[in-house]
Structure 1
Amino acid sequence: MTKLAAVVVLRTRRSAFCSHPGPMMLWSTMVVLGLNFAIAWHRPISAAFGFVPLPPSKLAAIAAILACYIVANETVKDWFHRARRASGMSPASGARLS
């Protein structure tokens, strides 16, 4: 789940909360997230792998950690792009602007 969150947050220089992903990215992310949960709760599949569904308290803790991870990604991304602009680096190539 953290990788899916990172992809959605890091795909743009703007805030991920203001810049919405395209339809294909949104749907593919939701499908992968849905499969992630379906594998854990679908008995024949989960039994084959020895998975046990997590209790709601653990899911809430994971959701809180994921929310903190998203905020941290967004904060570091903003810091990175501000520092890059301040140093005179081109956003695309990494070359110094003259």
Structure 2
Amino acid sequence: MGCDRNCGLIAGAVIGAVLAVFGGILMPVGDLLIQKTIKKQVVLEEGTIAFKNWVKTGTEVYRQFWIFDVQNPQEVMMNSSNIQVKQTCSEVK
């Protein structure tokens, strides 16, 4: 009492068509819902996820700054010499 080859092809075509229509409807609707949710949650207002993460990150934030001091600026400007730099690193907690 199974389905023969033609029945299987027809069933596959019908299922494929239904999924294509469903996907065609969901793509713009899904994009609209996602954009609406992002716009709602990105605002820094009390009660939003973005505000909670902005107020307290949960982990300490470290920053590093690399400062380069050009040792030979005149030679570089006048003679197109290679730049000689001295690097310093500072961490801010």
TM-score bracket relative to the smaller structure: 0.3 to 0.5
Q: TM-score, normalised by structure 2?
A: 0.34
- Is the helix fraction higher in 1 or 2? 1
Q: TM-score, normalised by structure 1?
A: 0.33
Instruction: Identify the structure with bigger relative contact order (alpha carbons < 8 Å, sequence gap 6+).
Output: 1
Find the structure with the greater CA-based Rg: 2
